[in-house]
Amino acid sequence: MKTQILASTAAFALLAGAATADEVRVYNWSDYIDEELLAQFEAETGLKLVYDVFDSNELLETKMLAGGSGYDVVVPTGTFLQRQITAGAFQKLDLEQLPNHGNLWDLIKDVTAGYDPENAYSINYMWGSTGLGVNVGKVKEILGDDAPLNSMELVLNPDNMEKLAACGVHFLDAPSEIIPMALKYLGENPDSHDKDVIAKAEPVLTAVRPHIQKFHSSEYINALANGDICVAVGWSGDILQARDRAAEADNGVEIAYNAFAEGSLMWFDQMAIPVDAPNPEGAHKFLNFILDAKNMAAASNYVYYANGNIASQEHLVEDVIGDPAIYPDEETMSNFYITTPYPAKTQRVVTRLWTKVKSGT
Amino acid sequence: MMRRLFLISVPYLWLLALFLIPFVIVLKIALSDTALSIPPYTPQIDLSAGWEGLRTFFAALDMENFVWLTEDDLYWKAYVSSLKIATISTLLALLVGYPIAYGMAQAPQEWRATLMMLIILPFWTSFLIRVYAWMGILSQEGLLNQLLMGLGLISDPLIILNTNTAVYIGIVYTYLPFMILPIYSALEKLDASLLEAAEDLGCSRFKAFWLVTIPLSKGGIIAGSFLVFIPAIGEFVIPSLLGGSSTLMIGKVLWEEFFSNRDWPVAAAVAVVLLLILIIPIILFQRNEQKQREAE
């Protein structure tokens, strides 16, 4: 958060200056790339790269809809991308400027076409699922060896949560992911846009709310790795990064990521070019750089997220391509679900419910 | 005559450019509807259609968003809670600030400039960094808890960060100089012979303070209180960094409307109502200033 605010302040200062043709401005999620790639891009293309980060789709969408964000490449998640395309926020990709476009994986393209018809506006950067990060040792110590480490029971059953509270539980501050999860837990359609169905999520979340230490979408990586919290509902790769940081620190903390046995939300982060990008040519260069098999593999090897680039797979390390938490087998895949964007009226209901859950008002 | 007109027009132009025009823009958005477009509200003024365009534009405006604010008690509660937090913070700032200002005014003449400097000094560091520093001080593993536990005063860390207590600390800390400076300037002008006269007439020192010093510094107290109260009520940064998710303030609600709901019209309506709430103390403040000037 701190670096983020500093980064955005810096970005603002830069935006105040004139945009130049030899500069590309990228706005991506935090902890989402191997930073060496950024230096490599600058060296290869001679372009200056300004790289800022965010941790909420909502924030990105506000910037996109306000217009004049000054960014050349942004990375919204599929559902948000779909809505922003409708609002006219993006420009179509020029495939001639993307010779590496053929590296994309048809399997993923077919899914993302649901958000971006014919994939005309975006390329898939990475994809993953929303599930459970657990400090295996501590959770087992509290709940016993048969603790439901891969089930929503762990975080949505108040009995379990009450016991875990002292050890610390974080939830993503992302209503569009947590509410579908609560609906799935109830056996409802997680992608429901029906007000009455969505309302059913409220008592489920309110019941566990007193035991949730924080709703935040990036702090849990460090908190899990340091052993400050025991459980996080978070994004697959972020939790795997926490696992790795803990292993590197050798602090006796063992973190595991599990998709929900009940079914996890699968999401796709897409790179797109804003309609008013100051340097669309540079933006295409950046996308093409990312589409390069080796570069994409380097990014995935670093952040532990699967990507939509079939050619990159031969360069992936075994830790990534061979890990079913990252590249799930078909059976797990069939258990995933996806969501579609909420219309404005439903969005209001969702946000209101979220405020109510978080603040009790 | 021309010169006079010119001089009078300057503050009005200032008001027009920096207050009235932005306010009309916000009001216009508050009367619009959300839309999935850039910018995310409708209608837009279509100047190419001439008068007809303007007419359809005005026809599409309505009070729907203001009605919405009355239908959900979230907004009402947030306004009340903001008023409460701002009022308590102002009183606390007064309690802390008055003795400091009094001490400064009593200090020998040659010290005063230095003391004044010390009050202003924190402004040299970014406000954001100072609030972050408080996070480091107040957190469970923070300086304050380590100090108290090191001294053996408490055995379990106090939970201050992410509560309303932290918000009060943050607001009082941030706006304290705005309380001290006007009170100091009122006390500095105080004629010491008045106090002597009061004591000659049989007042105890405390009574003289209560009957002479306090009434004569009233102007400073009022000015300082408004300078703390007005920004505190709409405060966003302090409650979002130091407060918890149960801290309800209108600045945060406005942020949510804008960023989470992408509902600029409702966000604008919240802002318009906030302004209307603030106009009352602002007018009172202006009146007080004017009275002071007339008295002098």
Are A288 and A245 within one domain? no
Are A280 and A258 within one domain? no
Domain assignment present for residue B259? The answer is: yes
Residues 6+ apart with CB under 8 A from A43: none
The two tokens of residue A242 are 């926490």
Measure the CA–CA gap between B48 and B269, rounded to whole angstroms: 28
Q: Which of A4, A63, A86, A351 should be substituted to probe chain B, the one whose Cβ sees the most B Cβ atoms within 10 Å?
A: A351
Q: Within 10 Å of residue A196's Cβ, how many Cβ atoms?
A: 8
Query: Distance (Å) from the C-alpha of residue A113 to the closest C-alpha of chain B?
Result: 20
Percent of chain B with pLDDT over 70: 99
Q: Rounded mean pLDDT of chain B? A: 89
CB–CB of B74 and A361 under 8 A? yes
Q: Are B180 and B186 in contact (CB under 8 A)?
A: no
Per this entry, what is the length of chain B? 296
CB–CB of B261 and A66 under 8 A? no
Q: Distance of alpha carbon A151 from its chain centroid, rounded? A: 20
pLDDT digits (tens, 9 = 90+) for A31-40: 999 999 999 9
CB–CB of B38 and A354 under 8 A? no
Query: Distance (Å) from the C-alpha of residue A345 to the closest C-alpha of chain B?
Result: 9
Q: Which of A63, A79, A351, A359 should be substituted to probe chain B, the one whose Cβ sees the most B Cβ atoms within 10 Å?
A: A359
Are A303 and A229 within one domain? no
pLDDT at A10 over 60: no
Rounded to 5°, the CA angle A35-B126-B124 comes to 135
CB–CB of A344 and B262 under 8 A? yes
Name the residue facing A89 among B38, B78, B263 (closest C-beta): B38
Structural domain that includes position B202 = 66-295
Domain assignment present for residue B41? The answer is: no
Q: Are A150 and A258 in contact (CB under 8 A)?
A: yes
Query: Distance (Å) from the C-alpha of residue B174 to the closest C-alpha of chain A?
Result: 19
Are A283 and A300 within one domain? yes
Domain assignment present for residue B24? The answer is: no
Domain assignment present for residue B75? The answer is: yes
Are A342 and A247 within one domain? yes
pLDDT digits (tens, 9 = 90+) for A43-88: 999 999 999 999 889 889 999 999 899 999 999 999 999 999 999 9
Are A260 and A163 within one domain? yes
What is the reported pTM? 0.79
CB–CB of B260 and A351 under 8 A? yes
Domain assignment present for residue A310? The answer is: yes
Name the residue facing A61 among B128, B248, B262 (closest C-beta): B262
Q: How large is the ipTM? A: 0.73
DSSP assignment of A199-245 equals HTHHHHHHHHGGG--EE-SSTHHHHHHHTS-SEEEEEHHHHHHHHHH
Q: Give chain B's domain count.
A: 1
Domain assignment present for residue B5? The answer is: no
Residues 6+ apart with CB under 8 A from B202: none
Are A63 and A138 within one domain? no
Q: Are A197 and A353 in contact (CB under 8 A)?
A: no
Name the residue facing A62 among B132, B253, B258 (closest C-beta): B258
Q: B199-229: buried (b, 16+ CB within 10 Å) or exposed (e) per residue?
A: eeeebeeeebeeebbeebbebbbbbbbbbbb
Give the pLDDT mean for A217-230: 90
Highest mean pLDDT range out of A12-16, A305-309, B41-45, B287-291? A305-309
Are A113 and A8 within one domain? yes
Residue A2 pLDDT class (50, 70, 90 cuts):
very low
Measure the CA–CA gap between A44 and A294, rounded to whole angstroms: 14
The owner of tokens 């056996």 is A187
Find out whether the peptide bond into B43 is cis, omega within 30 degrees of 0.
Answer: yes
With contacts defined as CB-CB under 8 Å, which chain A residues touch B245? 214-215, 358-359
Measure the CA–CA gap between B162 and A283, rounded to whole angstroms: 40
Domain assignment present for residue B47? The answer is: no
Are A92 and A133 within one domain? no
Which burial class, exposed, middle or buried, applies to A36 when counting CB atoms under 10 A from its CB (0-12, 13-18, 19+)? exposed
CB–CB of A344 and B39 under 8 A? no
Q: Give chain A's domain count.
A: 2
Q: Both ends of chain B: CA-CA distance in Å?
A: 27
Structural domain that includes position A253 = 129-265+338-359
Q: Which residue has the higher pLDDT, A15 or B120?
A: B120
Contact with chain B for residue A354, Cβ under 8 A: yes
Give residues 289 to 318 of A whose Cβ lies within 8 Å of B. none
Domain CATH number, residue A58: 3.40.190.10
The two tokens of residue B250 are 């209108």
Instruction: Give residue B281's pLDDT.
Output: 77
Instruction: Give residue A276's pLDDT.
Output: 94
The two tokens of residue A214 are 């924080």
Domain assignment present for residue B54? The answer is: no
Within B234-263, residue ranges assigned H as helices are 237-242, 250-259
Q: Both ends of chain A: CA-CA distance in Å?
A: 25
Q: Are A125 and A290 in contact (CB under 8 A)?
A: yes
Instruction: Give residue A9's pLDDT.
Output: 45
pLDDT digits (tens, 9 = 90+) for B62-118: 888 999 899 888 899 999 999 999 999 999 999 999 999 999 999 999 999 999 999
Nearest chain A residue (CA) to B75? A361
Give the pLDDT mean for A134-140: 95
Contact with chain B for residue A66, Cβ under 8 A: yes
Are A257 and A144 within one domain? yes
pLDDT at A3 over 70: no
Taking Cα atoms as reference points, which of A7, A123, A17, A5 lies closest to residue A70?
A17
pLDDT digits (tens, 9 = 90+) for B20-40: 999 999 999 999 888 888 888
State the DSSP H helix or E strand holding residue A321, giving kind and residue range, or none if neither: helix A318-321
Are A116 and A146 within one domain? no
Instruction: Give residue A19's pLDDT.
Output: 55
Q: Are B263 and B34 in contact (CB under 8 A)?
A: yes
Q: Strands A169-171 and A231-235: what pairing?
A: parallel
Taking Cα atoms as reference points, which of A38, A10, A91, A124 lies closest to residue A278?
A91
Q: Are B44 and B264 in contact (CB under 8 A)?
A: no
Q: Within 10 Å of residue B92's Cβ, how many Cβ atoms?
A: 17
CB–CB of B262 and A347 under 8 A? yes
Residue A20 pLDDT class (50, 70, 90 cuts):
low
Q: Rounded mean pLDDT of chain A? A: 91
Are A52 and A118 within one domain? yes
Domain assignment present for residue A332? The answer is: no
Measure the CA–CA gap between A42 and A26, rounded to whole angstroms: 13
With contacts defined as CB-CB under 8 Å, which chain A residues touch B261? 347-348, 351
Domain CATH number, residue B143: 1.10.3720.10
Domain assignment present for residue B84? The answer is: yes
Instruction: Give residue A17's pLDDT.
Output: 46
State the DSSP H helix or E strand holding residue A256, giving kind and residue range, or none if neither: strand A255-258
